[in-house]
């Protein structure tokens, strides 16, 4: 009996160990373990970067707005700092200098990217849908540092846009070091963005869901969910080591109490949809109808400096609009702001954000969206309380729901903002009205879109081109597909000065490079050549071998779908079809031609870009 009793725990432990081994092997076989590890590493990097970003921003904001400008802070009360010797007149001066500095950096460091989109999140979205899924270190550094200066000096912008870009940039750097393909790089890109959002807002689940949802208007990137969850959780854990786990908003524990409140929340959704239409429409008019023409006349430095001056002037007159302003939203939720001021601040934040980010300065749009949504919701709730005191007893509940619904209306994201709002306030008591109002708001704002690079669904993204064409290409050899004529072949020893006439007279995007023995040794892309082609001082110093990429080709008997995957993983829009027996190029496999097989483009379609897709414009 004693031996049997002793043997039972042993057998149980043995079975447990065997089960864990099987689970581990299953994870390894399905690549899930690889995704988990990569997500955790990306999350740790994003969390540490979020800590540095947050600490730098707070220190600089305390210096510029606190000590120099003497701007009123919510934690010090609503009155101005009368005892301070500083002057709010410094605010427009600081924002003007910040705008000029950002414009100078854009002109010097990012001259080939005229429109960076709405904010850092929009840049991240564009990179995901781009040919390589890569965010360059230069654009990450410029926009990240510029955002710190913009917010700290008083510009109306948020932290989430730059931190999502920084997290995505760090993940992109990690993917390059590990030599991952374009598909895994895109997954890691979203994981890095999720880590940044989950850390800076202390909302791990909301950050992960928002990152995979915001890239589409009516869809979400399910393939990246696992990596985003682990990344966001890891980044949140790292961030809370330094700043604790308390939610951003400290508000009473509000709960849904009566079904009679639901019609009022439906009306709130209509108000938020209208406010989102005004917010997005006003931003686009200021950005493209005011500052875009000004940029052509006075240059990028002049337009960003002017935007900084105007935003700083508005902030000097209404200090509640400075920076992200989420502290003022908390005061509104507590009932410390009157109804008239709530509406005025919602409108003022719309104008101030349009001037700040629309002029080209850096920062995110999520925090201003929460601000406008919170002020709009609290104002509507206060109005309902005066009309229906027995039903709408807590205007703060309408303010919390308004934050989520407003951002959903502006971006089309539904689940991520809903969960993030619950995490920001530390409770899920308003889940039912949040769900109803979000559904109504999305129904009323289907044509509103804040982000330029956001696509309607997965089928519209080149990240999923292989899914659209799999049935058509699977089983067909490359020789059965339409091939473009072979471009002029380049020798490794050809000097740069001898290429200008050849490249400018050719329509090819990629050129095969051969050595003296006739073997394919590389691929020279038009985008790579363009970077050095007009540097006259390099004409006799640089040869083709030095600017060529590693050789990539497909055989004529290769499977068409596998060839398309090779094209997507390398980021090339053209691949040479090489007859290895004879060593000759039979033609070029073209991505646009393959997509034309699946769904011929209608006449006049302008969605497909005609420039080189061999490298992303965000590679800077």
Query: What mean pLDDT is predicted for residues 1-11?
Result: 59
What's the CA gap between 603 and 607, in Å, rounded?
11
What's the CA gap between 349 and 35, in Å, rounded?
40
What's the CA gap between 577 and 566, in Å, rounded?
12
In sequence order, the 6+-apart residues with CB closer than 8 A to the CB of 605 are none
Residues 218 and 268 in one domain: no
Residues 238 and 385 in one domain: no
**The pLDDT of residue 428:** 86
What's the CA gap between 21 and 9, in Å, rounded?
18
61-91 pLDDT, tens digit per residue, is 988 988 888 877 664 343 444 444 568 889 9
What's the CA gap between 58 and 242, in Å, rounded?
14
**The pLDDT of residue 521:** 87
Q: Which residues of 213-250 are buried (b: 16+ CB within 10 A; e: fewer)?
A: bbbbbebbbebbbbbbbbbbbbbbbbbbeeeeeebbbe
**More reliable by pLDDT, 510 or 594:** 510
Residues 507 and 383 in one domain: no
Lowest mean pLDDT among 211-215, 364-368, 568-572, 612-616: 612-616
Query: What mean pLDDT is predicted for residues 46-55?
Result: 95
Residues 537 and 608 in one domain: yes
**The pLDDT of residue 373:** 94
**DSSP state string for 365-422:** SHHHHHHHHHHHHHHHHHHHHHH-TTT---HHHHHHHHHHHHHHHHH---HHHHHHHH
CB 65 within 8 Å of CB 71:
yes
Final residue of a structural domain among 243, 278, 310? 243
**The pLDDT of residue 240:** 95
Look at the chain and report how many structural domains it folds into: 3
**The pLDDT of residue 582:** 74
**The pLDDT of residue 5:** 53
**The pLDDT of residue 3:** 53
Token reading at 45: 């990097």
pLDDT at 283 over 90: yes
pLDDT grade for 465, boundaries at 50, 70 and 90: low
Final residue of a structural domain among 217, 243, 269? 243
**More reliable by pLDDT, 117 or 185:** 185
**More reliable by pLDDT, 272 or 11:** 272
CB 36 within 8 Å of CB 224:
no
SS3 of 506-559 = CCCCEEEEECCCCCEEEEEEHHHHHHHCCCHHHCCCCEHHHHCECCCCECCCCE
Final residue of a structural domain among 458, 480, 497? 458
pLDDT grade for 598, boundaries at 50, 70 and 90: low
Residues 201 and 267 in one domain: no
pLDDT at 23 over 60: no
Token reading at 283: 């931003």
Query: What mean pLDDT is predicted for residues 100-114?
Result: 84
Residues 453 and 543 in one domain: no
Residues 416 and 377 in one domain: yes
**The pLDDT of residue 380:** 95
* 613 in a structural domain: yes
Residues 155 and 269 in one domain: no
pLDDT at 539 over 70: no
pLDDT grade for 585, boundaries at 50, 70 and 90: confident
**The pLDDT of residue 204:** 93
**The pLDDT of residue 533:** 64
Q: Which domain holds residue 540?
A: 468-619
For the chain, counts of helices (H) and of strands (E): 23, 6
pLDDT at 343 over 70: yes
Query: What mean pLDDT is predicted for residues 541-552?
Result: 81
Q: In this structure, what CATH number is given to the domain that contains residue 450?
A: 1.10.3080.10
128-182 pLDDT, tens digit per residue, is 988 888 888 889 999 999 999 999 999 999 998 899 999 999 999 999 888 888 8
Residues 478 and 444 in one domain: no
For residue 115, count other CB atoms closer than 10 A to its CB. Answer: 14
Residue 297's Cβ-count burial label (10 Å; 0-12, 13-18, 19+) is exposed
**The pLDDT of residue 80:** 40
**More reliable by pLDDT, 280 or 592:** 280
In sequence order, the 6+-apart residues with CB closer than 8 A to the CB of 79 are 72
Q: How far is CA 68 from CA 65, 94, 306, 355, in A?
A: 6, 10, 21, 23
Backbone CA torsion sign across 478, 480, 485, 486: positive
Q: In this structure, what CATH number is given to the domain that contains residue 481?
A: 3.10.580.10
**The pLDDT of residue 255:** 86
* 534 in a structural domain: yes
* 410 in a structural domain: yes
Token reading at 328: 């003022």
Average pLDDT, the chain: 83
pLDDT grade for 114, boundaries at 50, 70 and 90: low
Lowest mean pLDDT among 70-84, 114-128, 401-415, 473-487: 70-84
Residues 454 and 590 in one domain: no
**The pLDDT of residue 604:** 40
**More reliable by pLDDT, 471 or 421:** 421
* 2 in a structural domain: no
Residues 316 and 213 in one domain: no
Q: Which residues of 572-609 are buried (b: 16+ CB within 10 A; e: fewer)?
A: bbbbbbbeeeeeebbbbbbbeebbeeeeeeeeeeeeee
Q: Which residues of 66-105 are buried (b: 16+ CB within 10 A; e: fewer)?
A: bebbbbbbbeeeeeebeebeeebebbbbbbbbbbbbbbeb
Q: How far is CA 379 from CA 159, 394, 418, 436, in A?
A: 25, 11, 20, 19
pLDDT at 30 over 70: no
Radius of gyration over every alpha carbon of the chain, rounded to an integer in angstroms: 27
* 212 in a structural domain: yes
* 11 in a structural domain: no
What's the CA gap between 96 and 306, in Å, rounded?
7
* 12 in a structural domain: no
* 327 in a structural domain: yes
Residues 448 and 483 in one domain: no
What's the CA gap between 458 and 465, in Å, rounded?
9
**The pLDDT of residue 304:** 93
């Amino acid at each position: 009996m004693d031996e049997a009793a002793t043997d039972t725990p042993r057998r149980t432990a043995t079975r447990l160990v065997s089960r864990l081994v099987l689970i581990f092997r299953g994870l390894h076989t399905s690549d899930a373990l690889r995704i988990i590890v990569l997500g955790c590493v990306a999350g740790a990097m994003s969390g540490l970067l979020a800590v540095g970003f947050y600490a730098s921003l707070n220190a600089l904001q305390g210096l510029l707005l606190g000590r120099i400008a003497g701007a009123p802070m919510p934690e010090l009360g609503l009155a101005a700092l009368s005892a301070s010797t500083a002057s709010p007149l410094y605010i427009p001066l600081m924002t003007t200098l910040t705008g000029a500095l950002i414009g100078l950096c854009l002109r010097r460091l990012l001259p080939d990217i005229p429109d960076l989109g709405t904010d850092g999140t929009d840049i991240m979205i564009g990179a995901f849908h781009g040919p390589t899924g890569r965010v360059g270190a230069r654009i990450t550094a410029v926009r990240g540092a510029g955002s710190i200066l913009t917010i700290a000096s008083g510009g109306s912008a948020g932290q989430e846009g730059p931190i999502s870009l920084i997290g995505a940039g760090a993940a992109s750097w990690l993917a390059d070091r590990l030599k991952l393909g374009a598909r895994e790089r895109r997954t890691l890109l979203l994981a890095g963005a999720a880590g940044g959002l989950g850390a800076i807002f202390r909302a791990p689940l909301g950050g992960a869901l928002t990152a995979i949802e915001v890239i589409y208007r009516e869809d979400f990137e399910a393939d990246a969910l696992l990596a985003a969850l682990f990344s966001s959780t890891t980044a949140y854990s790292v961030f809370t080591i330094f700043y604790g786990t308390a939610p951003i908003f400290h508000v009473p524990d509000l709960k849904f109490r009566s079904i009679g409140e639901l019609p009022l929340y439906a009306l709130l959704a209509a108000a938020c949809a209208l406010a989102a239409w005004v917010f997005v429409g006003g931003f686009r008019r200021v950005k493209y109808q005011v500052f875009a023409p000004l940029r052509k006349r006075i240059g990028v430095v002049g337009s960003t400096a002017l935007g900084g001056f105007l935003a700083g002037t508005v902030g000097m007159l209404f200090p509640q609009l400075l920076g992200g302003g989420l502290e003022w939203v908390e005061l509104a939720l507590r009932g410390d702001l009157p109804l008239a001021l709530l509406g005025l601040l919602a409108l003022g934040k719309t104008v101030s954000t349009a001037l700040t980010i629309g002029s080209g300065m850096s920062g995110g749009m999520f925090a201003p969206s929460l601000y406008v949504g919170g002020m709009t919701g609290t104002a509507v709730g206060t109005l309902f309380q005066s009309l229906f005191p027995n039903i709408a007893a807590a205007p703060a509940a309408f303010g919390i729901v308004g934050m989520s619904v407003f951002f959903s209306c502006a971006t089309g994201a539904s689940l991520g903002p809903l969960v993030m709002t619950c995490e920001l306030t530390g409770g899920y008591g308003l889940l039912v009205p949040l769900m109803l109002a979000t559904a109504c708001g999305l129904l009323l704002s289907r044509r509103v879109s804040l982000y330029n690079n956001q696509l309607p669904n997965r089928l519209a993204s080149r990240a999923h081109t292989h899914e659209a064409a799999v049935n058509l290409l699977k089983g067909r050899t490359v020789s059965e597909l339409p091939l473009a004529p072979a471009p002029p072949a380049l020798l490794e020893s050809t000097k740069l000065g001898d290429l200008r006439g050849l490249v400018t007279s050719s329509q090819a995007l990629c050129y095969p490079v051969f050595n003296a023995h006739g073997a394919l040794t590389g691929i020279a892309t038009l985008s790579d050549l363009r970077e050095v082609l007009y540097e006259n001082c390099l004409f006799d110093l640089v040869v083709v071998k030095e600017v060529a990429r590693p050789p990539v080709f497909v055989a004529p008997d290769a499977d068409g779908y596998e060839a398309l995957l090779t094209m997507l993983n390398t980021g090339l829009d053209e691949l040479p079809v090489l007859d290895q027996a004879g060593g000759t190029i039979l033609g070029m496999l073209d991505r646009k031609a393959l997509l034309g097989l699946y769904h011929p483009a209608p006449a006049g379609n302008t969605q497909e870009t005609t420039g080189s897709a061999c490298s992303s414009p965000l590679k800077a």
